[in-house]
Amino acid sequence: MQHLGQLRLEQFLLTAVAADLSERDLRAWARALRDLPIGTVTEADFRAWLEGPLRRAFPFDRFLGAYGGLSGGRIYARSMLSSGHSSEFLASRDTAFDVKLRGSIAWWMKHRRALILDRTGATDALGARIPATEREIEDVERFSLGAVACHGVFDPFANTGTYVGFSGVPKSRSKQTLALLDILAPLVQAFYFRTKEIALSEGQLSSLTNRQRDLADLAALGLTDREIAARVGISEHTVGNHFRIIYSRLSISRRSQLIALLK
């Protein structure tokens, strides 16, 4: 990971000037970039960097990151990684949802710029309002998230990306926070590709219909064909036919392979 810090040093210095960082801020960020893990990266390595060097340079309380894709107007989260969040909060996160239910995420995917979400709504770095949904604002209040700085890396051609949210950031430093997220977002994505083995190409995933993706997600939860049929209101025979098509499209032959790939 050391080379990532070197490659982004010039960009960081330009951002630091624009964000009017203090000398203390600059020293903390220099240490955070210096301490980026090298070689094989585990989720424990990632959390250690988040909770140590990064937190000293970029104050926050809790972190949630997700890697996934967009297909048919729905977001499918392939993996999530968190620090500091409660089990109740993590259990409330949907692994598949209509992008319209998350107004701030829909805005981010379109504009690919950092934003801050709190109980009053969402704004960009210039203070312009972003159309957050009631559900997003209710989540902030329900789980006492404070101000949440959000950003990531989204590829509009492959419809995949990594989205991150840092809860409890200082609202008084929103300009600096959002400017520095431009540096931080690609680093976080790099960690994902070092800690998560992407076993299934996004081209294969996008070949599935929305119904097939829903069935595959239910299979990943461990439901049988009969349980899936009862859940979605179709016959067990029809479920079996769907899975035969899914296996063919993904070039696999059995349920255990599908579950392993999705997880």
Helical segments of the chain, H only: 2-7, 9-19, 23-34, 43-49, 55-57, 87-91, 103-111, 134-142, 174-195, 202-205, 210-220, 225-232, 236-250, 255-262
> Where is the domain boundary, 169, 195, 221?
195
100 found inside a domain: yes
pTM for the model: 0.70
* Co-location of 235 and 258 in the same domain: yes
169 found inside a domain: yes
d(CA 262, CA 256): 10
> Where is the domain boundary, 155, 174, 195?
195
Q: Determine the distance from the C-alpha atom of residue 22 to the mean position of all C-alpha atoms in its chain, rounded to a whole number.
A: 29
β-bridge partners, 162: 67, 153
105 found inside a domain: yes
What's the pLDDT at 160?
81
> Where is the domain boundary, 195, 216, 251?
195
CB 209 within 8 A of CB 242: no
d(CA 134, CA 150): 17
- Cα–Cα–Cα angle for 80, 172, 188, rounded to 5 degrees: 25
CATH code for position 131? 3.30.450.80
* Co-location of 143 and 184 in the same domain: yes
* Co-location of 169 and 207 in the same domain: no
What's the pLDDT at 14?
59
What's the pLDDT at 15?
63
Instruction: Find the domain containing 115 and state its range.
Output: 43-195
Q: What is the pLDDT along the chain (263 residues), one digit of tens a residue?
A: 444 444 455 566 556 655 666 777 778 887 887 887 776 678 888 889 999 999 988 899 999 999 888 888 889 887 888 999 999 999 999 888 999 999 999 999 999 999 999 999 999 988 999 999 999 999 999 999 999 999 999 888 777 888 999 999 998 888 888 888 887 888 887 777 677 544 444 556 667 888 888 898 888 888 899 999 998 889 999 999 999 888 877 767 778 777 767 75
